[in-house]
A and B are shown apart, each in its own frame.
Chain A
Amino acid sequence: MKLNFNLKYALLLLFVAMGTFAMAQRTVTGTVTDAETKEPLIGASVAVVGTGTGAITDFDGKYSVEVPEGATQIQITYTGYSTMIQDIGASNVMDVELSAGTLLDEIVVTGYGTQKEKEITSSVVEVSAKDFNQGVIADPAQLLQGKVAGLQVYNRGGDPNQQAVIRLRGLSTVGANVQPLVVIDGVIGASLQNVDPNDIESISVLKDGSAAAIYGSRGSSGVIIVTTKKGTASQDVKWSYNAQFSTESAVNATQRLSPTEFVAAGGTDLGSQTDWIDEVTENPFSHNHGLSASGGIGSNSSFRISANIREKNGILINTGYDQFNTRLNFSSRAFNDKLKIDFNTSYTHRDQENGYTEALRYAVLYNPTAPVLGVNSPFPFNSDQFGGYFETLGLFDSFNPVSIAEQNRNLTERREFNYNVNLAYDLMPSLTVNFRVAQQRTDINNNQYAPTTANFRGNATSPTRKGLAEFYESDFTFNLYEGFATYLTSFGQSDLRVTAGYSYQEDDFFDKFFSIGDFPNNDLDFSKLIEASQDLNNAGFIGAGSNASPTNKIIAFFGRANFTFDNAIFVNASLRREGSTKLGVDNKWGLFPAFGVGVDLNRYLDIGGVDLFKVRLGYGVTGALPGQSGLAQEVRNIVNDGATGAVSTELARAANPDLQWEEKAEINLGVEITAGKLSATLDLYNRDISDFILERTVDVAVFGVDRRFENAGKLNTQGLELALNYDVVRNSNVNYNTGIVLSTYKTVLEEYVLDAETRANLGSPGQNGTNMLLVKVGEEIGNIWGPVFTGVEEGNPVFADVNGDGQLITAQDRALDPDVDFEVLGNGLPDLELGWTNQVTIGDWSINAFFRGAFGHSLVNTFRAFYEPRLSTQSSYNFVNTDKAVDGLTTARFSSLYVEKADFFKLDNLTISRRIALENSAFTGMNVSLIFQNPFVITNYTGIDPEPNLVDQGSDVLSPGIERRNNYFSSRSFILGVNLNF
């Protein structure tokens, strides 16, 4: 009753206060500058403390903010600078100087809330927009490439439609989902493809288990938290437009014989001289445009709306995409500012021309004396059958690359839509409750057309069954409902914040596939006229299929406490209890605890010149769920018996009711030092991943099928990450800041379903049964395994008797024999990764040079393994010809000869930009930049791209280190960028 009375009283007071003072407002203006250089700070955030109003500084560092009567302080924050709170005096002009260099009070987005950076006891790195990689970014993950120690982002080659492979602290899982959990504006499991890089304000990466444990069974592969840009209340509408125009060229195409060399080497001379790579590549023009408006609606609402258009073309002709993206962020306060409503929605529509990377593969190995067109054939050739193109008939695995690039179409249309509503209500000054409802839909269409004259996939050699159309469609829906409450209290020198909540996530997936062929000719556009297919008259040719997931649900209860003592000792603890439908009936629920402690030792040691000396220790448990559904259950295949028309089933996978999530337990020790111009962060970690979900070979006699999913195995990863930042020069005219991030780790397989196995088949032609990777208990992941090449004898490779027992065992299926003469030929994972940022500002000019390197990894150059030996039987293929070629070798067999060290150091990005003041115009600022992407690479690797390949064939994470023949060539880009504010 007492509480009741107090509440009513307080409410009454509030209403009275509102009624009395609502009309009394005034406007405060000012300039925010750097304390040392006196340069204006653009985009600094100015907020009136205790109200929803605020503003962002313009290009001259100026702001203007409505201050309601009763407000006493303004808070100014700017990334990279100390946050400042100033009392509002009588004057309506408040100029503020911010000191740079210390990041002590920066607010960092963590799970279900924010924390002051200083109070964080786990390894969390936030990268803000100004530090993102510049240039034409196809995938938001690339914004972070090389910027965060321990975060690997690799996008090999220049395929505009390929998504980057992302890894945090190495391999976190073997059989489950290796993609990091993405959280966008609080929406767990959101799609990175539905955010335009232009709209991102900052990205936080939760690196260790104690930070990620609040996300439970999906946190093991890392958590990436994206915050999008917002508007500011009480501010005029501001417009921003930016555009980039780029062109690029292919680099590092595989080296091969010229037509003359080819004929001299005994190749079949077909009379022409064709540079096939020239024929299928181009220097494409790409551009993108982003337009946004942001501002306030009155004093309690704000918005930001943006539209982004991207047209990107690849170096392979007829590849690229067109993308349209729009996003609306709206924020408002009601009920005396007690209720805060955030609404955001975005939509992305992307049309892709994927093309076929086979066009590049065959461009490397196609006979360089073959003509592009059949009319130039040295012998009678029926060009019409192949759409006018020449084809070397009678050869295995050989297709005219120009015909592929020009005739075959591979199109994807992707639509993503999401909305997200978050209500936050302050029940009491110290207690806030949050409710969130979010939905995301992703629809993908993939249509592939091989015309009747296409030799590749179109079966043009067949007299009867030419042309093929394939249709694929998938729908994915994700729903999220969450509620949580946060309670704040202080006593004495201590602060305590407690958060508790509930989360419900569900997703549904459905896809269908349909293929049909045998079309009369190309005069009919059979993409729109599939009834022309003659397959309709012949049984057995029409392909169709569908997949539907069950409604996958994740349900969780979670809680967290953050305790601060003396602004120097920080303790964080969290617990999440979470269940998933994907697991076995007896193992659906699990518990994910975390604990962390941090101490700012400098508060007690008070070392001269040192601003911060923080030591922190965190421990946390996270999980990983299987990517697929139904792994715990028995699954059967439909058997259509054509002989009788009967339908029956056969066992495809045995059930495992005990299946549970993979579990990762990680301990992280961090040291953070800031001393004047230098800041450094060192993290050491140890992670044990156990029970990974793997399809295991089981006794077929007992189970009826030799596969089922089990929890088996253990991985240990130990690593070190170091980030250093130094202000070399900082004065009123010149700034030079340099930063370096270094990371190294080692992953050892401690237990596995088998004692040892080999993986990653080299493949056809002729090198099936040739597994190149060794997976062995007690050894590192990524070991490349094979015979050691020592020389040539009668055209055949000679291998070393590695164990010296006088007996040479090099047959591939003896790879695991104790007497085999194989050795570890390299490792696909780098020992050391490096990112080095250099930012120089001179007056209105700024130069940003970003270097990146990886060292210690090897790659199998499969182009060489297949096509460098001068095979007498393949005189009509071109040969690969690098400086590593061995004279006289006429037999292709995998060995150390094709495993190359792929250390590299590259200038990844060079940006030169100039700020242009536009006096007396409608524009408030302009920025012009020139960007060079990938201008040079230093490496001895002879293949297409020396960057580590973490995943083989798109899915096999245990087989890093193989460059397959279907790689898109790397490119070098030149970009002109313009940014206008008005």
Chain B
Amino acid sequence: MNKFLKILFAVAVLFAIQSCTDLEEELVGDVTTNITVEGVSGGSGGQESTPLSAAYAELRNAGTANHGGYYSVQEIPSDEMVICAKGGDWFDGGILIELHQHTYGPTHAFVNGTWNQTYGAINTVNELLAGGTLDANQTSQARALRAYFYWRLLDLFGNVKLIVEPGVDVAQSSRSDVFNFVESELLAALDISEVSSTMDLTNSPLGTDASAYQINQFAALGFLAKLYLNAEVYTGTARWAEAAAAAGYIIDSGVYRLCGEGCTVANLGKRAGVEADPDELEGFAAVFAANNEGNPEHIFAVFYDEASAGGMNFSQMNLHYSSQFTWNFDAQPWNGYATLEEFYNSFEDGDARKQASFIVGDQLDFGGSAVLDYASDDGNLVLSYTPSINELTPNSLREAGARPGKFSFKQFGRPDMSNDFPVLRLGDVYLMRAEAMARDAGDWSMALPDVNVVRERARVSALSSIDADGFLAERGREMFQETSRRTDLIRFGKYNDAWWEHPADPSDHVNLFPIPFDQIQASGGTLSQNPGY
């Protein structure tokens, strides 16, 4: 009996000791360390795999071409885009109206989303740089890419934290410090001390490889041109000459050319039963088409693919539900974004950009029959987009408003589109140089040669004179839907003016977005709010 007791006790003790201290948690079902596996055969993009793939992928994650982030806060507050409340649909607590009317506040979901997505992207780049595995060229690319993301924060929020190491907190910087940081990072990536017409980039670690999916020296210069063009807004001090020099260097290199006559791609949106649909897209339209990879105008572009690189959802965001039958879409669109009538009318007929940028009028399906909207609210069963919009809220008609279609849709398209999104392209660079030169000289006629290059490609007649308003309108027609308008309006002092369903702003503090309320709370006092909020 006693022996039995002893054994029993020994078993109990052994049992207890063996397992009593081990509480380690091994997360077999999760990834807990940063792994990188380079592509084997190349993905559907056929691109070369580099350690920077994750960093460039962040461009897609950072709201470049979908709803709720960077694209939305750059476009909806401008005079080129709007989302109207359609009865019960798209009111969404008023946040879309607030964006258009500039009454957004620190709790705006899209403002918060934009901040989080952009810092998430910066963190990925910081982790790569901290990993110490990059060569000189890759390090320069990473720093230039991070500078671009910080440029977005500079433009949107102004006063932000400049985090360069993962997990290491720093004090909030002033807008001009952020400007200086972005400038110095880009110059360092190029290995030059300043931008000038005589700069020598032959030793720059950033090469001249023309692949638009990686940052080369022209892309870095393009970022600098954009930075300098807005320097007066960011710091109070204009830097026109450097903007012109940076843009001029890109143009003069001859590496890129405008996609004009003879620059064509197959028209993937062609309907078998609609003869008017061309077999090919030429010129301006080809720059943004679903098969626009390798367009000669792209300097730096975000790669999108319907299957492997999602994140561009314009077909969903812009089109009416029934437009599904025009393109045979895989999923029903959402009927959200539309263009303001006045902006639509700023294009003259015959402007190739008007044809390429908008979906208007009666809609036909694949076989050429009218697309019907059985729930029509305008008494007309045929789906027909009208440039005029009856009201912003509450009962905008479902078919009201020309729909943005610059990033054109392809037949049998998926919710994720395959069009590449140019962050920098030559047409933009021409207009940046034109504006910088004109402002530097104090003479808008200095802009005419470059403006007319762009107009010629758009198949509209050359201008013989131009002023600031005329230039802004030209830039609007060229850059529509490319997340440029808000920045341009601010630079031209027009962001606070009245336009359709947007009363004049009582104060220009809205030119910077508020720092998100959640982030101010989470920062424990290390982030302070922008003035006016």
Binary per-residue interface labels of chain A (235-277) against chain B in the complex, 1 for a CB within 8 Å, 0 otherwise: 0000000000000000000000000000000001000000000
- Please measure, in the bound complex, the distance between the C-alpha atom of A549 and the C-alpha atom of B28, giving whole angstroms: 7
Q: B54 — nearest CB in chain A belongs to which residue? A: A648
Q: Is the pair A461, B307 in contact by a Cβ cutoff of 8 Å?
A: no
A553–B28 CA distance with the chains assembled, in angstroms: 14
> Does the CB pair A643–B57 fall under 8 Å?
yes
Q: Does B492 contact A (CB under 8 A)?
A: no
Q: How far is it, in angstroms, between the C-alpha of A396 and the C-alpha of B98 when the chains are bound?
A: 24
Q: Are B374 and A588 interface neighbours, CB within 8 A?
A: no
Interface string of B76-94 (1 = CB under 8 A from A): 0000000001111111111
Q: Are A394 and B89 in touch, CB under 8 angstroms?
A: no
CB 8 Å contact bits of B21-44 with A (1 = contact, 0 = none):
011111111111111111111111
* Residue with the highest number of chain A CB atoms closer than 10 Å, among B33, B123, B126, B328: B123
The interface-forming segment of A121-129, A346-354, A806-814 is: A806-814
Q: Is the CB of B94 within 8 A of A641?
A: no
B116 contacts across to A, CB distance below 8 A: 700, 706
Question: Does B276 lie at the interface of the complex (its beta carbon under 8 Å from any beta carbon of A)?
Answer: no
Find the B residue at minimum CB distance from A770.
Answer: B93
Which candidate, A62-70, A136-144, A305-313, A869-877, is the interface stretch facing chain B?
A: A869-877
Least CB distance from B250 to A in Å reads: 24
Please, how many angstroms separate the alpha-carbon atoms of A869 and B58 in the complex?
42
The one of A392, A541, A588, A874 in contact with B23, judged by C-beta atoms closer than 8 angstroms, is: A588
Q: Does B109 contact A (CB under 8 A)?
A: yes
A635 to B372, CA, bound (A): 48
Given contacts A394-B383, A643-B47, contact A813 B88 (CB under 8 A): no
A635–B107 touching, CB < 8 Å: no
A645 touches B119 (CB 8 A): no
* Residue contact A873 to B12, C-beta cutoff 8 Å: no
Does A638 touch B at the CB level, under 8 Å? Answer: yes
- Minimum CB–CB distance for B293 against chain A, Å: 10
Q: Are A648 and B53 CB-contacts (below 8 A) given A697-B518, A699-B523, A873-B87?
A: yes
Check if A8 sits within 8 Å of B1, measured CB to CB: yes
Contact of B2 among A7, A866, A873 (CB under 8 A): A7
B167 in complex: contacting residue of A647, A650, A702, A891, CB < 8 Å: A702
Given contacts A394-B373, A483-B15, A637-B31, A812 and B95 within 8 Å (CB-CB): yes
Given A642-B308, A699-B523; A891-B53 close (CB under 8 Å): no
The reply on B439 being an interface residue by CB < 8 A is no
Q: Is the CB of A812 within 8 A of B93?
A: yes
Contact of B366 among A463, A540, A581 (CB under 8 A): A463
Q: Is the CB of A268 within 8 A of B93?
A: no
Chain A residues near B89 (CB, 8 Å)? 396, 765-766, 873-874
| Bound-complex Cα distance A639 to B91 (A) | 34
A767 at the interface (CB under 8 A from B): yes
* Closest B residue to A643 using CB positions: B45
Q: Assess the A814–B31 pair: CB atoms within 8 A.
A: no
Q: Is the CB of A548 within 8 A of B522?
A: no
Report if B470 contacts A (CB, 8 A): no
Cβ of A845 under 8 Å from chain B: no
A459-B330, A641-B43, A641-B57 given; A811·B94 CB < 8 A: yes
Q: Which among B35, B45, B87, B108 is the interface contact of A644 at CB below 8 angstroms?
A: B45
Considering residues A579, A813, A869, A872, which has the most beta carbons from chain B within 10 angstroms of its beta carbon?
A813
- How far in angstroms is the closest Cβ of chain B from A206? 26
Are A872 and B395 within 8 A (Cβ)?
A: yes
Q: Interface residues of B toward A: which range?
A: 35 or more
C-alpha gap A109/B163 in the complex (Å): 59
Binds A, one of B140-148, B231-239, B331-339, B481-489: B331-339
Alpha-carbon distance A876/B377, docked complex (angstroms):
9
> Does A521 lie at the interface of the complex (its beta carbon under 8 Å from any beta carbon of B)?
no
Q: Is A11 engaged at the interface, CB distance under 8 Å to the other chain? A: yes
Stretch binding the partner chain, chosen from A80-88, A90-98, A625-633: A625-633
Given A464-B330, A630-B25; A813-B107 close (CB under 8 Å):
yes
Q: How far is the CB of B154 from chain A (nearest CB, A)?
A: 14
Q: Find out whether the CB atom of A643 lies under 8 angstroms from the CB atom of B43.
A: yes
With both beta carbons as reference points, the residue of chain B lying nearest to A651 in the complex is identified as: B123
A650 touching B120 in the complex, CB below 8 Å, given contacts A504-B19, A869-B88: yes
Q: Which of A464, A550, A866 contacts B27 (CB 8 A)?
A: A550
Q: Is A289 part of the contact surface with B, judged by Cβ < 8 Å? A: no
Contacts of B372 on A, CB cut-off 8 Å? 393-394
B357-388 to A contact mask, C-beta < 8 Å, 1/0: 00000000010000011110100000100000
What's the least CB distance linking A730 to chain B, in Å? Answer: 51
Which residues of the other chain, A, contact B93 by a CB distance below 8 angstroms?
767-771, 811-813
User: How close is A965's CB to chain B, nearest CB, in angstroms?
Assistant: 13
With contacts A633-B27, A704-B166 taken as known, whether A644 is within 8 angstroms of B53 at the C-beta atoms is yes
Bound together, the chains give a CA A342 to CA B90 distance in angstroms of 63
Q: Which of A396, A465, A555 contacts B321 (CB 8 A)?
A: A396
Closest to B365 in A: A463
For A699, list chain B residues within 8 Å (CB). 169, 519, 522-524, 526-527
Q: Can you list 6 pairs linking A and B with CB atoms under 8 Å apart?
A: A395-B321, A643-B53, A769-B92, A811-B93, A813-B93, A813-B98
Known: A268-B374, A557-B16. 11 other contacts (CB 8 A): A7-B1, A268-B375, A547-B29, A553-B22, A646-B38, A697-B521, A697-B522, A701-B169, A766-B85, A873-B86, A890-B87
